Amino acid sequence: MARLDLALDDIVQLRKPHPCGGYRWRVTRLGADIGLRCLTCEHKVMLPRATVEQRTKAHFDAEGHPKPVANGSAS
């Protein structure tokens, strides 16, 4: 699996919605665990890096420009 090139304040769109209905999260902490804050309700979570990489559908930089996502889905 390709490693996701995350930076602080990047935005990731996850495959499943948060219970508040939001899909987009801002990266607030980097390391083995990734800190995320929901852009809809401001809820904070910590997820293992591997989980974030598997669940990421889209990746944007802090300004909102798309970044490539390689989830190893080549057939």
Return the HEC string of 4-53.
Answer: CCCCCCCEEEECCCCCCCCCEEEEEECCCEEEEEECCCCCEEEEEHHHHH
Give the pLDDT confidence of 25-61 residue by residue, as tens digits: 999 999 999 999 999 999 999 999 999 999 999 999 8
54: containing domain: 11-67
- With respect to residue 44, please indicate whether it lies within any of the assigned structural domains: yes
Q: Residue range 13-30: average pLDDT?
A: 95
- With respect to residue 21, please indicate whether it lies within any of the assigned structural domains: yes
Residue 12's Cβ-count burial label (10 Å; 0-12, 13-18, 19+) is buried
Alpha-carbon distance of 24 to 19, in angstroms, equals 12
Token pair recorded at residue 43: 């809820």
| Total domains in the fold of the chain | 1
For the ranges 10-24, 27-41, 55-69, the lowest mean pLDDT is seen at 55-69
